[in-house]
Structure 1
Amino acid sequence: MTSLTPVLSRYWDDPQSWTLETYLRHDGYRALDTALGMTPAEVIGLVKESGLRGRGGAGFPTGQKWSFINAHDPKPHYLVVNADESEPGTCKDIPLLMATPHVLVEGAIIAAYAIGARHAFIYVRGEVVPVLRRLRAAVVEAYEAGYLGTDIRGTGFDLDLVVHAGAGAYICGEETALLDSLEGRRGQPRLRPPFPAVAGLYACPTVVNNVESIASVPAIVSRGVDWFKSMGSDKSPGFTLYSLSGHVTRPGQYEAPLGITLRELLDYAGGVRAGHQLKFWTPGGSSTPLLTTEHLDVPLDYEGVAGAGSMLGTKALQIFDETTCVVRAVRRWTQFYAHESCGKCTPCREGTYWLAQIYQRLEEGAASQADIDKLLDIADAILGKSFCALGDGAASPIISSIKYFRDEYLAHLDGGCPFDPYASTLFAVEGAGA
């Protein structure tokens, strides 16, 4: 069985793990000293050679994204850390920020140095007030210790880091919508090109990275490329945080090499809750096509999950047992996407609304066979045709759930949800009367 690899989470259970004192006791900020002794190009080359891929969902190579910044562009360069974790089922960045905020601060300083940024921003969901307070306290500690501000560590490098609270919109997890929000405008996706590396924050060269992506950089700088590549697979190297939630005995965050399987993670988590069996699960949050028991041994890396017809996404493994109505679960997700659609593009704005209406008819027993086909038609009209990935996220669980559980959808055509206790009793009484 693949072993867990606690790197980011190795001292989450230490008393006051979030303080600078604790971080320094665990070799904190040593990677920064190493990075500042290199040229920015060498730091980018190191991260690129490591094969670190973005941990926010898309899996784009982090070093390659940094290399898109034109070092000779006279405009200011910016680093933006996306901490707007809002994908249903995802719970990795917020625990990391609560437990060890300094690892993100150190990673952000190294990343800013590499791309030539003098200002960096961490965009955090405004609802998570304890995280905001803890992260801001860590930033204050870093300033007081000379890791932020002017002439950092006597190298002449200056950096100001701002922790910004968002207003709680799912769409702001999309990098260009986040940039609009950070500029004080309504959070909506931008037309690309130009990409953020050319015209991002304030129309200047900008890198936007996920929390976990940036937090992984200090370990790579300290321990080296070979160490990082010793974990994971050839195309998906390294360690990562998997979030297990739902019908599992011990839900939580499990840090493991990319490529571990759900079967192995369930062994660590005590399996599906006692007396029940796995029915379906998501590999990367609600926006990824759901998988079933036949996919228990799929390697949980970018290529492995894609080969199974889904996406690794944020590695939010939501576990559902046989007591769950798949139609009701997908309906809840669909209602979420309809509510969170920014309304900028027609396929997503109108499509998610009508999907929610059809799911209501299904659960109330007022739908027909044509409605199931209509779900697929609308999902197809959204998938790949909306302005950003929110539309794809709304369509994916619908298409995959009908693929694997069409019979369950058909069962909703007569009398509503068969998993509803009242409806089940009603069906039994009607059957007895007949």
Structure 2
Amino acid sequence: MKIVCKANKIYMRFTSNSKTIEKSLKMDVCEKNLKFVNDVLLPIFEKIRCERKIKTKKILYSGAKNIKKFDIKTHKIIRNPHTLGDFCTIVFDKISQNRKISTIKTAENAINRFFDFINDKKIADYKIYELQEIVTQMQKNLAASSIKTIFCYIKQAFNEALKNDIITKNPVNFVIFPKIVREKKEILTLDDVVKIFDNAGGELKNFGNRIFYGTRSGEILGLCADDFDFKNHKIIINKNQTRFGLTTPKNGKNRIIPLAKNLALFLKFDKSSIFKKYCDEKFRSKHDNASVSGDNKINFDNKIFDFKNNDDFYVSHFDGDFYCLTEKYDFDKKPLFTKDYFALRYEFDALLKHLGLKKYTFHTFRHTFASLLIENDVNPTFVAEILGHSNLNMLEKVYAHSIVSAKNLQKLNKALNF
């Protein structure tokens, strides 16, 4: 792996399957960022790459020899499907037509992962003991939840064959899977919360505010100013930022969650940074050597253009030989975060290490929020509504009581009043 600087951006260069690949880290070239990449990111990427190589060797050594490479995206649907791969393609095609990009990627990775352990063949030739052996092999390197996810899509493929009278039973139904052990959910102590908020800064502090309203990581990263209604004390959750792009919330349902009164004191966003990121991405797509500098100047082909440095930010467009202010930048509808999940996670881990705290995950904020409400006698149905739980029994209760009562809101403010 090697660090490369191009067009004022930092890239990671590496080889995969004999091909040279460059991935942008979406970070500007500067001494601080280069030091961070060298000292923090590069060692992490090298470790992950090394662990993947070791896992691959273990899998091959444990019996998965002479396995042919299978790629669900290149496997075509045929008129008379007969192999497991053929029926997996049918399942994947249905998922691709009406599911979110994150679900499609999960299905793609799960199906391809299954065929790392066994070759594709006639679907009627798969035996229960073969599938059971695959589960045994998977347990050496995969979590029980990952194995369950993989076989979820394989089971659907066998069901497709069952519907078409190609097989008489689904062998996955007879496979014994490892039990998924639910680890005890950790919560932040009050002292740790105070330490983190006293020492966190910028977007990391804003991201940590999720402890006040229990959102998922992607949901808070997708928030824009329009989603906050401080007058009526509520937040609208209708987006989810994933590594594949902006999608709908996890369960596909929008929801409104109450906003604790003291939260407004913590929400501060740097408009200049948000606008700078937007311009940088917008202009770079058309001009490789375009950039937005920290002194509020846009540089195209070594030409400098100033934009207004106040609440009225404008976007400039290249029109022939001139740069024209043609579009007012609408902060209310743009994402409030300029950093992605991984950048914030690196900052959070570094902060915890600096403070001498145990290694919490971002999801701990959500668990802490739920625990605070329950311990303060907030109605469980109300808590489930805020968290966006997908349990059907719970949803029936939630939609029957969708109006947030004044009593529950009062208890919420009390619970979150540190």
Q: TM-score range by the shorter chain?
A: under 0.3
Instruction: Report the TM-score when normalising by structure 2.
Output: 0.25
Higher relative contact order (CA 8 A, sep 6+): 1
